[in-house]
Structure 1
Amino acid sequence: MMGGDEPHRRDSDEITITETAPLLTNERPSWPSHRQRLSITSITSVHVPKIHNGRTIVNLLCIIILISSSSTGLIGIPETRLLEDAACRQYYGLDGSISGPIDEKDCKGDAIQNKVAFTLAIQSSADAAAGFLAAFPWGLAADRIGRKPVVALALAGSLLGIVWAMTVVYFHNVFPVELIWLGSLGNFLGGGSAVIAGIVLSMIADSTTEEERAIAFMRVHVASLCGNLGAPALSSVLMARAGPWPPIWIAFAVIALSGIAFLFVPETLKHQPGQEHGHEPEIVEDEEEETTDLTSRVSHVVTQFKESLSMFKSTSLVLLLITCLGSPPVLYATLQFMAQFLSKRYGIELYKTGYIQSTYGAAQVVQALIILPWVTRYVMKSTTPKRIRAPDEHHRDLSLARWSYTLLAVGIFIVGLAPTLPGFVFGLMLMALGSGFNSLTRSLMSLYVDPEHRSRLFSLVAMAEVVGSVYAQPFLAALFALGMKLGGGWIGLPYFGLSILISAVATLLLFVKVPKEARNSAPTHENGCDEE
């Protein structure tokens, strides 16, 4: 059995469907055979031989991810506007006295914006914490009862959370807006987006070959990116014509449609043959394992987690792991928080901010699909000037990671400093050029551990990013409140602080060194890297 499993124990879970998905890797990934992982993105990992048409499954999943991720882009700006209106009414004591929405210009006071920022920040942190706690048990359930039922429950839980939040906002004259935080409890049903991400990765890994897998992950990543940062433009159009509620109802329909579409994706887990007996389906093995005490299994995973910490013998690997704490604030700074910041600083209506978000999303797609692949090939060519030519792909990734963080830090600083909207957009474009930072650092991480330990490594990476998600939006909200209090150009303080954080991360990369083993083996992997 061990010999049969060995080819599958690689680093596929280093690739996610979010902005942090690695586009460069020196190993073609496949899904690990370990079935229990203390992870957000790999908790549902289980090897299934390819039975269905892999291309069809990947295409279906790309469509589903594009649809489901667009719900976030559709609902973000309308939710901010409704919450702002509710906080505005409560601040002026106008609940029940005015039927229509209050003029948005009257809601830009510092006290109101502080309340909106912190309400959304705590909601974001609660969502991340609830998803983290629920991911492990629902990940186990996905391995036992199938992926599709768990995805359906996760989508239903997300839908319930949104319904609750919008109910609180609609009845703001009855409930304090802070009650929207209870909507995070919906993530306990199905595990939320964290479990959905892991299941989608598992199904792609089940249905594709090693040669196809890297491209499939990148396609899903781009689909997620287009949904998250492309939908705000549609939301803006709808808000301009019909107000904030229609985009929210469409988001409800989009989530429901995603669940229905998932019914057409084959359940790969049902086609999973066992490998211990050679002929018994592993689903039978699952039935036998149901008699195993849950406490023993949890204890086993905790033991694996402790053993995983022993991988961090390399200082460079520890530094790379620390960089993961800086990626969630960058993500949040370009989503819902950016809409509120743009509206407050430049005096534009919230619905118009969606066009700016979609422009940034389009720039990221261009960077991921055109600019970064071109640069990675160019710096490896023999005709490239020696001053910028990389000796091998590993040093290339390290150099590009340093430059990406530098561009990101400069772009974020310009975003905070820009007194006009064109200057803000210019800063966003620089940020887009550096948006491959997380993919590059993850590619580098895989060099410091053996292939059979990479699943555990990226499980810890996922946990570090969850920690970053918990503090990210409160960090931005606190600096936003302080910046408004100081007045003037200090309103850009959230982005100044984020720029300092990213600069510190970039400094850490100066102390990262490519391991000798990777340097010695780099020439033998160069062709494979170029192909990916």
Structure 2
Amino acid sequence: MESAPLLGNAPSSEIGHGCATRLDPFKQHFHKWRTFYICALFLIVTDVPSFMGEGPMLRMLELGACREYYAIHDPDSIDSHGNVPERLCKLSDIQSRVARVRSLLAFLEAVPGLLLAVPYGIVADTHGRGLVVGLCLAGFLVRDTWVFICLYFYKVFPLNAVYLAPMTAILGGGSTVTGPMLFAMIAASTARESRSLQHFPSQIRSFLTPDLRAHAFFMIQVCLLALESISPPLGSLLMETVGPYYAWLAGIPLGLLGFACLSFLPRNKTFAITECEPCAPEDAEHSASSTTMYDRSKERVTALAYHLRHDIPKLFHSKSLFVGLLAMFTAKMARPIKDLLSQFMTAKFEWPISQANLLISVHAAAQLPWFIAVLPTANAWLLRWQGDAVKANHVLATLLVSCLTLGAIFMGLAPTSVTFIIAVIVYTGGSGFSVAMRSLLTALVTDDQLSLLFTTIAVFEASALLTAAPLLQFLFAKGLQYGGLMISLPFFTVAVFYGCATMALSLCTFK
């Protein structure tokens, strides 16, 4: 007679092995995509207050310009708390003043990024990208705090005191460095995952690697769009409830959580100068024994000069790569146009800022299905059709920038708010152009040039912000003075740049 159960008790080691087997795929997935998830979480805790504060920031600047105007023309319009009814702030003189302030702010914010993008890129390659992103975050928090102080205490500080805020971008280089650093970390992590496919033929590996990167870039863009869909309504709600000042202040504590996210980032592999020019053992021993500040500073200056002399020119050997970088210049103009939408709606169609701010949310929400379904499907179909990720991204980028061109023209010609919203939808069809270009350019360089490529992209993007954002705000201010169709000068100007990018990409061959 058998006393043992039919199935018996499996040994504990076998049970543990079964559980481990079930958990292994999850652990492997998280290990491979850890950097991606941490970067996405970092974007959530830092971009929510950024998007949430766009409406309050515009209202604070508008209120400051209102006080300046009515302090001279009608002091009775200013109440005892320094507030002016929003309906009285839609005069062309006031809106023109706000546009000029935003123009100079955009210029000043772009300068540190343009000057410091490459040095901070080298710091990222030697000391870790997380350090640079942390410095950028510290600069953002100091900037936001100063904006609140100088605009809230308007009796102490004039409106022009807000111009000191962009100087905090010296810490880390500002937004023109943060974005490329995050994209470089994601690109490097997907490159590491692609090395697990080494048993495939080289043709298959070259086909899959850019696709993984493109997928990661698209998912990050989806994350940003989701945040941009949710955050502006929250900002509008807070602005209506507690006022623009406290709505702006509410985002600062949330941004502090970004430091916690950065603490979980794995350190990136650094590419030192010694990899390119191996030193003799005596030199290495001397370098290791160097302890004085002078020697360390001299080594860093030498490393910087080497990168500037040898590494950066390598990126421009390819004409197609240079054309792609110029296309990234035009892609960055999408941000100044988006920043202009709220003020354009309030100035031309007299919408309240809280209502106009919702247009940004609707614009972002309309892009979500585009990035989740349409663009990945189009990218996969183009990959099958072209048989090469570079060619597929090239075709996709050309189609997307064509939609941007048409959308900008239609927005400029729109006579009513309804037709303007329809034009914005057409413009939305070009969403993903920047992501497609990043994926295309990433496929053209080697892994050890990723940080250098993305910091070079940052220089081109900073150049775009340095010229485009102030130029568009200046044209908008001038258009407000002349009225009529001239108010749409920023959209017509952007359409010209997008049209040039469309022609350049159509005529260029990427290899």
Q: TM-score, normalised by structure 1?
A: 0.74
Contact preservation (8 Å) 2:150, 2:159: yes
**Aligned partners of 2:121 and 2:440: how far apart in 1?**
27
**Aligned partners of 2:499 and 2:69: how far apart in 1?**
38
Deviations 1:9-50 (A, max 9, x none): xxxxxxxxxxxxxxxxxxxxxxxxxxxxxxxxxxxxxxxxx9
2:248 corresponding residue in structure 1: 248
How far 1:206 moved relative to its partner? 6.1
Structure 1 residue 345 corresponds to structure 2 residue 348: yes
Deviations 1:419-463 (A, max 9, x none): 222222211211121112233344444676677767655543332
**Aligned partners of 1:491 and 1:424: how far apart in 2?**
13
2:51 corresponding residue in structure 1: 73
Structure 1 residue 485 corresponds to structure 2 residue 481: yes
**Aligned partners of 1:270 and 1:394: how far apart in 2?**
26
Residue 313 of structure 2 aligns with an amino acid whose one-letter code is E
Contact preservation (8 Å) 2:125, 2:271: no
2:508 corresponding residue in structure 1: 512
Deviations 1:436-492 (A, max 9, x none): 223334444467667776765554333211100111211111221232222223322
Contact preservation (8 Å) 2:52, 2:231: yes
Distance change >3 Å, CA 294–CA 349, structure 1 → 2: same
Helix, strand or coil at the partner of 2:507: coil
Helix, strand or coil at the partner of 1:126: helix
2:308 corresponding residue in structure 1: 302
RMSD: 3.6
1:86 corresponding residue in structure 2: 64
Further displaced range: 443-452 or 429-438 = 443-452
Structure ranking higher in helix proportion? 2
How far 1:344 moved relative to its partner? 0.9
**Aligned partners of 2:431 and 2:68: how far apart in 1?**
39
**Aligned partners of 1:60 and 1:446: how far apart in 2?**
21
Contact preservation (8 Å) 1:168, 1:176: yes
**Aligned partners of 2:409 and 2:474: how far apart in 1?**
17
Correspondences of 1:36-55 after superposition (within 5 Å)? 53-55=31-33
**Aligned partners of 1:135 and 1:172: how far apart in 2?**
34
Distance change >3 Å, CA 146–CA 298, structure 1 → 2: closer
Deviations 1:104-154 (A, max 9, x none): 121111221111112112112211211333444444555555555544433
How far 1:217 moved relative to its partner? 4.1
Deviations 1:351-372 (A, max 9, x none): 1122211111122222122111
**Aligned partners of 1:379 and 1:309: how far apart in 2?**
26
Helix, strand or coil at the partner of 1:333: helix
Distance change >3 Å, CA 404–CA 286, structure 1 → 2: farther
1:268 corresponding residue in structure 2: 267
Contact preservation (8 Å) 2:96, 2:478: no
2:9 corresponding residue in structure 1: none
**Aligned partners of 1:199 and 1:424: how far apart in 2?**
35
Residue 411 of structure 1, aligned match among 407, 412, 420: 407
1:20 corresponding residue in structure 2: none
Residue 210 of structure 1 aligns with an amino acid whose one-letter code is E
Contact preservation (8 Å) 1:203, 1:268: no
**Aligned partners of 1:483 and 1:185: how far apart in 2?**
29
How far 1:311 moved relative to its partner? 0.6
Helix, strand or coil at the partner of 2:179: helix
Correspondences of 1:299-378 after superposition (within 5 Å)? 299-304=305-310, 307-308=313-314, 310-312=316-318, 314=319, 316-335=320-339, 337-378=340-381
Distance change >3 Å, CA 456–CA 261, structure 1 → 2: closer
Helix, strand or coil at the partner of 1:464: helix
Correspondences of 1:413-452 after superposition (within 5 Å)? 413-445=409-441
Helix, strand or coil at the partner of 1:430: helix
Structure 1 residue 64 corresponds to structure 2 residue 42: yes
Further displaced range: 94-103 or 65-74 = 94-103
1:172 corresponding residue in structure 2: 154
Contact preservation (8 Å) 1:146, 1:267: no
Residue 193 of structure 2 aligns with an amino acid whose one-letter code is E
**Aligned partners of 1:455 and 1:511: how far apart in 2?**
28
Contact preservation (8 Å) 1:157, 1:192: yes
Residue 145 of structure 2, aligned match among 139, 158, 163: 163
Aligned length: 450
Contact preservation (8 Å) 1:51, 1:271: no
Distance change >3 Å, CA 286–CA 252, structure 1 → 2: farther
Residue 184 of structure 1 aligns with an amino acid whose one-letter code is P
Contact preservation (8 Å) 2:333, 2:464: yes
Further displaced range: 197-206 or 122-131 = 197-206
**Aligned partners of 1:308 and 1:218: how far apart in 2?**
28
Percent of pairs with identical residues? 26
1:181 corresponding residue in structure 2: 163
Distance change >3 Å, CA 205–CA 484, structure 1 → 2: closer
Distance change >3 Å, CA 190–CA 502, structure 1 → 2: closer
